[in-house]
Amino acid sequence: MTTRSRILGVIPARLASTRLPRKVLRTICGRPMLQHVYERARSCARLDELVIATDSDEVAEVCRRLLMPCEMTSPEHASGTDRLFEVASRRRAEIYVNIQGDEPLIDPAHLDALLLPFDREPLTQVATLRIAITADEAKNPNVVKVVCDRDGNALYFSRSSIPFDRDGTEPVTYFKHMGLYAYRRGALARFHSLPPSSLELAERLEQLRFLDNGVSIHVAETTVGTIGVDTEDDLRAVERILASRAAA
């Protein structure tokens, strides 16, 4: 009988965001956004452990007050993946899940879908999610798009609208990349050891470092949408959704 892999969820929580300052501690329906993310992710039965990773004493103090496990990490990290790797050096697991701290609508179904490829294919090294979007949404450079092969492996990620519908005669489905990742320990270590790639720097998308270096990313599909909070409008939209759920 095979032993199930130990799975650690990590929520990188940097306070010094530029587009929406202090966003992980912004209040939504009376609670910090980070608390919403933590509590929703914690309800996923697949995670053996869940911890918040931050470089902020203020975030760490909020975590202590709300009884959310927290690890202090270096302020020098360039990405959430690097922050996750530091946590991995102290907390052993076979699979690490990178959960964005600005996704207060994350659902356990997202995490279940994200981890399913590791159950089905033992050679899976990295997994992420996609969701179908409209052609108009695909034109937004703030929405990251992904195209995949027939087996669900990523061919490319871009802020541009891909695939390009040259003639406009064929039905095209566009997919938004949802910023949840799961990594085997070896893949996470390899990412950290590699320098940023040219495609990664051009698109400002760190996942391209894997593709540039021949590491496959399996992209599972979900029909459950989220709103990543980057602006005041996003914050208000999430608050309306959560308030309506609470009132139902």
The average pLDDT across 33-37 equals: 96
Distance CA 220, CA 178 (A): 10
pLDDT score of 79: 83
Is 15 inside a domain boundary? yes
Q: 55 in a domain, yes or no? A: yes
CA 243 to chain centre: 24
Within a domain: 99: yes
With a pLDDT cut of 90, the percent of the chain lying above it is 79
Residue 173 is assigned to a structural domain of this protein: no
Residue 2: pLDDT over 70: no
Task: Evaluate whether residue 56 is within a structural domain.
Answer: yes
Cα separation, 83 vs 79, in Å, equals 7
Q: What is the pLDDT of residues 102-124, one digit of tens each?
A: 999 999 999 999 999 999 888 99
What DSSP line would sit under 6-26, residue for residue?
PEEEEEE--S--SSSTTGGG-
pLDDT reported for residue 80: 84
From CA 80, how far away is CA 100, in angstroms rounded?
8
**How many domains are contained in the chain?**
1
61-98, pLDDT tens digit by residue?
A: 999 999 999 999 999 888 888 899 999 999 999 999 99
Determine contact, residues 112/203, Cβ cutoff 8 Å: no
Report the predicted TM-score, pTM, of the whole model to 2 decimal places.
0.92
3-class state of residue 2 by DSSP: coil
Could you give the 3-state DSSP secondary structure of residue 55?
coil
| DSSP bridge partners of 10 | 51, 98
Residue 41 pLDDT greater than 50, yes or no:
yes
Give the Cα separation of 76 and 99 in Å (integer): 20
Q: How confident is the model at residue 3 (pLDDT cuts 50, 70, 90)?
A: low
Reading phi first (left if > 0) and then psi (alpha if -120 to 50, else beta), residue 8 is in beta
Beta strands 49-54; 70-72: pairing state: parallel
Supply φ then ψ for residue 106, to 5 degrees: -55, 145
Which pLDDT score is estimated for 153?
96
Average pLDDT, the chain: 92
Q: What is the CATH number of the domain that holds 119?
A: 3.90.550.10
Look at residue 195 and tell me if it is in a domain: yes
At 56, the pLDDT band (50, 70, 90 cuts) reads very high
Confidence at residue 193, expressed as pLDDT on a 0 to 100 scale: 92
Q: 41, 46, 104: which is closest to 68 by C-alpha?
A: 41
In a domain, 131, yes or no: no
Residue ranges making up the domain that contains 237: 7-125+179-217+229-247
pLDDT tens readout for residues 124-162? 999 999 999 999 999 998 899 999 999 999 999 999 999
CA distance 245 to 226: 14
In a domain, 26, yes or no: yes
